Amino acid sequence: MEQYIEFLGRNPILSIIWLVLAAMLVSSWLKGMFSKIRQINPQQLTILVNRQDGQVFDMRAQKEFNNSRIAGSEHMNVEKAKQNDFAGLEKFKTKPIILVCNTGMTASGIASNMYKAGFEQVYVLSGGFGAWQTAGLPTASGK
């Protein structure tokens, strides 16, 4: 124990950095635990779509969406979504909505905005479209 105290005394800046990192780690973990936005895997996505009439929204670029997408998904304009423009989506406010992007990062931010806008069941495909492809699940293409 004395060695820890001595280390902290001799390295105050490094000690502060470690404390800040630890606090950020705990904060991130707690935020994920209590978030209303749920991360789901590809199998959970198929269950939501098939059993609860969930709707998938793909946030990737239009060209990527046209080349390959989850069957039944609709394209969502990311720029409009970032401005909280969810016009035309009101009919989905009480249904499960699953957001898909390339990796899951963009979708998480938009999902939070959608929840604040009154959408009750918003999910994000963990790992994005790449996770869907890695799972070997079918895709559709075309416009």
94: domain CATH number? 3.40.250.10
41 and 29 housed in the same domain? no
- Residue ranges in 38-142 assigned as alpha helix (H): 42-52, 62-67, 78-82, 105-116, 128-134
pLDDT higher than threshold 90 for residue 53? yes
Same domain, 16 and 78: no
Domain co-membership, 13 together with 44: no
76 and 98 together in one domain: yes
What range does the domain containing 25 cover? 2-33
Cα–Cα distance measured from residue 73 to residue 17, given in angstroms and rounded to the nearest whole number: 44
More confident residue, 31 or 12: 12
Task: With a cut of 70, say whether residue 32 has pLDDT above it.
Answer: no
Residue 23 sits in the same domain as residue 51: no
Residue among 76, 101, 110, 114 flagged as catalytic: 101
Residue 139 within a domain:
no
The pLDDT assigned to 104 comes to 82
* Number of structural domains found in the chain: 2
Q: Are residues 129 and 66 part of one domain?
A: yes
The model carries a pTM of 0.77
Strands 74-75 and 38-40: unpaired
Q: Is 28 a catalytic residue?
A: no
